[in-house]
Amino acid sequence: ALVGVLGAAGSENVQGEEQKKMDIITNDVFIEALENNGHVAALASEEMEDVYRLPPDKPRGPYMVTFDPLDGSSNMDVNVSVGTIFSIIKAPKGIENPTADDFMQPGTAQIAAGYCLYGPSTMMVITTGQGVQMFTLDRDCGEFILTRQNVRIPEDTAEFAINASNQRYWEAPVQRYISECLQGVEGPRGKNFNMRWVASMVAEIHRILTRGGIFMYPADEKLRAAGKEGKLRLLYEASPMSMLIEQAGGVATTGRERIMEVQPSELHQRIPVVMGSKNEVERLTAYHTG
């Protein structure tokens, strides 16, 4: 089924990143499904420069959706788990064709957020502001079956996830935090830590929701030199994942402020991300602000 659709597409998205063929295909699949369901007024995708406005003949609804159609798509060629991230917000009343300005809503305005994970099993993880629920696709009946209710993230953890190849660019608080973790039981933390890195945010956050941990894609000198505040997109990745993490009892910050309270200024805005088990995220935040 994947013959001819793996690898690069020979094009770039709005962020100047090389698009995979599956990025484009998945984006088209979601647009077709969403524009025909009668519940949405406009869409915004990580893969598209501007808001997708529904054709005049399509039914309108009261919601707007932002989504990353295929997070971690670089992993497709090596058969590692990938996923889709989405966020649902209310559309302004009385406006038939919402604009980019209408999407400039903080994470606290989300009415639902979640992701689908495509791995050994296909799962949908979602929150509507009343806890986090996990559903697994039953291929025999074609339905998603509730398999885990009211997911809670442990407050303490001994696992962290970060791209260690960027270590030389990190700010001092992140350098300190990772150094202390790596010193293990002999160091100031008094316990050993394990490091994980999948390079797929959906896979990383799913692991944290399942057993705890801290995920970090912090600000660094390399990103700033490229004119970027962070790596991950606020509307398509950071904001929806923050809602899930908080609803499961975790914490999500930029290192300095709560991600859910960040006011977007543009569709493809990037921010630093630190999220996961409460006590570890709060420790790193204290290193930034102390």
Residue 3, pLDDT score: 47
User: The tokens 């793996």 sit on which residue?
Assistant: 6
* Distance, CA of 251 to CA of 278 (rounded, Å): 5
Closest by CA to 125, choosing from 20, 201, 199, 214, is 201
Q: How does pLDDT run across 126-181, given as a tens digit for each residue?
A: 999 999 999 999 999 999 999 999 999 999 999 999 999 999 999 999 999 999 99
| Residue 229, CA distances (Å) to 24, 237, 259 in order | 26, 15, 13
Crossing angle for the helix pair 239-247 and 201-211, to the nearest 10 degrees: 10
Domains and CATH numbers, the chain: 8-114 (3.30.540.10), 159-289 (3.40.190.80)
Residue 7, pLDDT score: 52
Q: Is 16 or 267 the better-scoring residue by pLDDT?
A: 267
* Distance, CA of 142 to CA of 203 (rounded, Å): 23
* Distance, CA of 134 to CA of 154 (rounded, Å): 17
Q: How does pLDDT run across 30-84, given as a tens digit for each residue?
A: 999 999 999 999 999 999 999 999 999 999 999 999 999 999 888 888 888 999 9
